[in-house]
Structure 1
Amino acid sequence: MQHYDAIVIGSGQAGTPLSRKLAGSGLKTALIEKRWLGGTCVNDGCSPTKAMIASAKAAWSVYHNKSLGVITDHFFLDFSAIMKRKNDIVQRMRSSSEKSIEDTQNLDLFYGNAAFSGDKQITVTLNDGGTETFKADKFFINTGEKPSIPKIEGIENIKYLTSTTILELDSIPEHLLVLGSGYIGLEFGQMFKRFGSKVTILEPSERILKKEDSDIAEEVVKVLTEEDIEILLKTKAVAVSQNGGQISVTMEKDGNQTQLNCSHILVATGRKPQTKELSLENTGVETDEKGYIKVNDRLETSAADIYALGDVKGGPAFTHMSYDDYRIITENVINKGNASIKDRLVPYCMFIDPQLGRVGITEQEARKQGLDILVATLKNDSVARSIETGDTRGIMKAVIDAKTKQILGASVLAEQGGEIVTILQMAMMGNVTYDRIMNGVFAHPTYAESLNNLFMSLEQ
């Protein structure tokens, strides 16, 4: 039985750099990965989807450019070329991760499924056959999440798509039905609409994006419906069946049932942690009712010397937060520091077009907390740069502490919204008050300059 100083289970955006850092610090380290290096981000998430979204944006631009006086009579969308480009990008990034692991001394890589088989002990069922049992002084769990499939009559009898399998399509769906209106559902829905699919989105709630302010959600709906994406609210699928090349879906709204036929269904109703296979009951590691690993602010689990990083611990499921978990563990375990996840900012961006960039708290969260706030809003049809580029969709919004003038949060639905909201995040990090931005001098005409006008709206 091999003994290691540290074992990392899962090679996501936290696990891969952590394993290298641990090994580089002199600890004999093993990295266990059941599939491919890089985790969801590299293989099934950020990299492949954003590559495909870029192709979808180019397709949309063909029609949009008519308003700019650039007319294209005919164009051909080569889906196989789009998928090849996506695959090439994934392979490039995956290979980079593999090389970085191979070049790291003191680090062993094993491909297989790990399960705890005793105190500080795991048994790995290797992908190429056989098993290995290892012991270690410290364990770091970075196994992430996977799609959660809802209980719908007949769902197990059809070839539904998930955020993983939709990336393996070899043709464009004729009619894509999306179950769920979260980030995954909206990004794929808009993408495939731009590729030529008819798209219908089902959302059981009264509106999409319930964690965002209602005015932001309304603007997103406006963007999507302008592209002829059908959004059915307060509607859920209760039964599905395969009828030749079509899928029949029974939908329910307000107690009434209707039928819809589509060619493909994307299940985008949520994700669940990959903890069941770990046999955590053999370790003393506690999980919540959904299976997420419980951690404290230092990412320590209920079992000594076992840590959890990334999506598997619950909370914001974003690559950059996983990477920050790695930094926190590195500081505490290797440098003997006292880093914490408490009160850290959680920026994110939904890559619909225009992008929705977000950081800090929303207006609805601030009012629920009873905070004394100011709210600045600016429609993009008042932004010079937006008018000049011919894309005035969206809105900018900031929530400000009325007394201190500090920015508490921001939502930017705009072309390059993720980049614009990062400026506001840096202001929050540096305690730059809104009036300093309002009176700042920014290059004209840029999107950043519109932040002058955003905060000027508070003075009118």
Structure 2
Amino acid sequence: MTDDFDAIIIGAGQAGPPLAGRLTSAGMRVALIERHLIGGTCVNTGCTPTKALVASARVAHMARRAAEFGVEIGGDISVSMRAVSARANEIAAGSRQRNEDWLSGMARLTLIRGHARFTSAQTVSVNGMSLSARRIFINTGGRATIPNMPGVSDVSLLTNSGMMQVDVLPRHLVIVGGSYIGLEFAQMYRRFGADVTLVEKGPRLVSREDEDISAALHDILEAEGIAIRTHAECISFQPAGDDIHVALSCTSGAPELTASHVLLAVGRTPNTHDLGLDKAGITVDKRSFITVGEDLQTSVDGVYALGDCNGRGAFTHTAYNDFEIVAANLLDGECRKVSDRVPGYALYTDPPLGRAGMTEREARAAGKRLLIGTRPMARIGRAIEKSETQGFMKIIADADTQRILGAAILGVEGDEAIHGILNAMNADVPYTTLQHSVPVHPTVSELIPTVLESLAPA
């Protein structure tokens, strides 16, 4: 026997619950299926707990710097990793509970705990039950990629999820992967007091960013005592008692490291392999992401993919925007598209990197005539007052249309200040509109008009 619903949502990450809210409010009977934890990666092992760890690490860092601000703290600064971990887990649990309470009180919603698999384009099975719906929404997220490196199965390695269970200070944490997740964990654990080595196969950190950003981040992390090994073409692992030998083939440095803990941070893999997508005729690309159109509909009419599993965004805010696009189109008669979204994100090192739109490399590849302006954070009163002058601002504009193409703010409060630029880009106004604004002093954002005034052909 098959239970019929108006809609089925597979996965209770960032897009699933709010979509359930909109659909049930519209009078639909909805089944929401989740096989693990409500809230997905962000709430349970991603944004929420990791940013709680970042906050604890910053407190430790600033306590060590207290004398610079005329504040005397007696004795050595110590960190209780058990308390740090408990705080992060408590914050995550609270967020998860609020989501669960919201869903439990949602009229016309049936919340099912279990593993859903497609049996056809309009039916799924879960816990021995068969469910059907005219519309099905996939929101199954992703997981850490486990690379095919020699010895990877012979030792106990950690991913971002496993790190949430670590409540001791690693003696030596080796992080494989010099991108966003790797950099955040490297800095926070160095600030907690661990020896940290960051290993990257490529020639530079965060290769998605322009070289000036990569170089600045390299200098910031290295100044905090993080050992950085790039050009690590051949990485392998071998057990060594309670430790792990990590063999490297680098252009310089020791060929082998001994680690107490190893974190793999080399990318994300979509959770699409065990959904029975072939039974529904749903296509995926070569990296197993579900292929979708501008409206987030898959190759099968009535089936949509939202969030990390569709390869169209790898962030909580893009997953939520996927929900907004689908809800607006299905319920509000709009015609919103994924390509209308201005990309924006942040790297939560300290100082953070706020990014909007294109990098300089991407803008040049697009063949546009560019105007570029930069200013060091050391020119900003707010940064000077806070004794946090690392980094710089960079804005790129189209010389012909006067539209901002992209921007990077690597510096104190850069993750917040970038939104002024994102707003201007979303409003599709010329950069002169933002240039002529009168920002509040003293703030980081007040330098944005100054940077725009300095735009010059490049």
TM-score by length of 2: 0.96
1:160 Cα deviation (Å)? 0.4
1:236 Cα deviation (Å)? 4.0
What is aligned with 2:21?
Answer: 20
What is aligned with 1:188?
Answer: 185
The question of 1:145 aligning with 2:129 is answered no
What is aligned with 1:62?
Answer: 63
Aligned residue for 1:201, secondary structure, equals strand
What is aligned with 1:376?
Answer: 373
Q: Which of 392, 400, 408 is equivalent to 2:405?
A: 408
The question of 1:388 aligning with 2:385 is answered yes
1:403 Cα deviation (Å)? 2.7
Q: Structure 2, unaligned stretches of length 5 or more?
A: none
Question: In the TM superposition, what whole-angstrom CA distance separates every residue of 1:7-30 from its partner, at most 9, and x where no partner exists?
Answer: 000001101111121122111110
Aligned residue for 1:422, secondary structure, equals helix
Aligned residue for 1:13, secondary structure, equals coil
Q: Which of 267, 270, 295 is equivalent to 1:270?
A: 267
> Given that residues 237 and 249 in structure 1 are in contact (C-alpha distance below 8 angstroms), is that contact kept between their aligned partners in structure 2?
no
Aligned residue for 2:393, secondary structure, equals strand
How far apart, CA to CA, are the structure 1 residues paired with 2:146 and 2:189? 21
Question: In the TM superposition, what whole-angstrom CA distance separates every residue of 1:102-137 from its partner, at most 9, and x where no partner exists?
Answer: 111110001111111234111113xxxxx2221221
The worse-fitting range, judged by mean Cα deviation, of 395-404 and 329-338 is 329-338
What is aligned with 2:46?
Answer: 45
1:433 Cα deviation (Å)? 3.2
List aligned pairs for 1:40-439, cutoff 5 A. 40-74=41-75, 75-125=77-127, 131-253=128-250, 258-439=255-436
Change (3 A) 1:166 1:336: same
Change (3 A) 1:134 1:242: same
What is aligned with 1:128?
Answer: none
Change (3 A) 1:257 1:393: closer
Equivalent residue letter for 1:225: E
Q: Structure 1, unaligned stretches of length 5 or more?
A: 126-130
What is aligned with 2:443?
Answer: 446
Change (3 A) 1:435 1:137: closer
Question: In the TM superposition, what whole-angstrom CA distance separates every residue of 1:111-166 from its partner, at most 9, and x where no partner exists?
Answer: 111111234111113xxxxx222122111000011111011111112110001010
How far apart, CA to CA, are the structure 2 residues paired with 1:4 and 1:282? 20
How far apart, CA to CA, are the structure 2 residues paired with 1:190 and 1:204? 19
Change (3 A) 1:206 1:329: same
Change (3 A) 1:209 1:286: same
Aligned residue for 1:82, secondary structure, equals helix
How far apart, CA to CA, are the structure 1 residues paired with 2:124 and 2:18? 21
The alignment-based identity, stated in percent, is 36
TM-score by length of 1: 0.96
Aligned residue for 1:377, secondary structure, equals strand
Question: In the TM superposition, what whole-angstrom CA distance separates every residue of 1:209-233 from its partner, at most 9, and x where no partner exists?
Answer: 1211111111111110110111111
1:65 Cα deviation (Å)? 2.6
1:442 Cα deviation (Å)? 2.2
The worse-fitting range, judged by mean Cα deviation, of 85-94 and 428-437 is 428-437
1:205 Cα deviation (Å)? 0.8
Equivalent residue letter for 1:110: I
1:192 Cα deviation (Å)? 0.5
Equivalent residue letter for 1:88: E
1:331 Cα deviation (Å)? 1.4
Aligned residue for 1:72, secondary structure, equals coil
What is aligned with 2:455?
Answer: 458
What is aligned with 2:35?
Answer: 34
Question: In the TM superposition, what whole-angstrom CA distance separates every residue of 1:77-120 from its partner, at most 9, and x where no partner exists?
Answer: 12111111111111111111111111111100011111112341
1:39 Cα deviation (Å)? 0.7
Aligned residue for 1:178, secondary structure, equals strand
Change (3 A) 1:448 1:164: same
Change (3 A) 1:435 1:119: closer
> Given that residues 176 and 266 in structure 1 are in contact (C-alpha distance below 8 angstroms), is that contact kept between their aligned partners in structure 2?
yes
Question: In the TM superposition, what whole-angstrom CA distance separates every residue of 1:230-288 from its partner, at most 9, and x where no partner exists?
Answer: 11111145321111121111111259981111111000011111111101110010000
Aligned residue for 2:340, secondary structure, equals coil
1:304 Cα deviation (Å)? 1.4
Change (3 A) 1:208 1:255: closer
> Given that residues 179 and 207 in structure 2 are in contact (C-alpha distance below 8 angstroms), is that contact kept between their aligned partners in structure 1?
no
Aligned residue for 2:450, secondary structure, equals helix
Equivalent residue letter for 1:202: V
The worse-fitting range, judged by mean Cα deviation, of 184-193 and 251-260 is 251-260
The worse-fitting range, judged by mean Cα deviation, of 60-69 and 268-277 is 60-69
Aligned residue for 1:342, secondary structure, equals helix
How far apart, CA to CA, are the structure 2 residues paired with 1:217 and 1:332? 39
Equivalent residue letter for 1:278: L
1:444 Cα deviation (Å)? 2.1
1:379 Cα deviation (Å)? 0.7
Equivalent residue letter for 2:115: N
How far apart, CA to CA, are the structure 2 residues paired with 1:229 and 1:163? 19
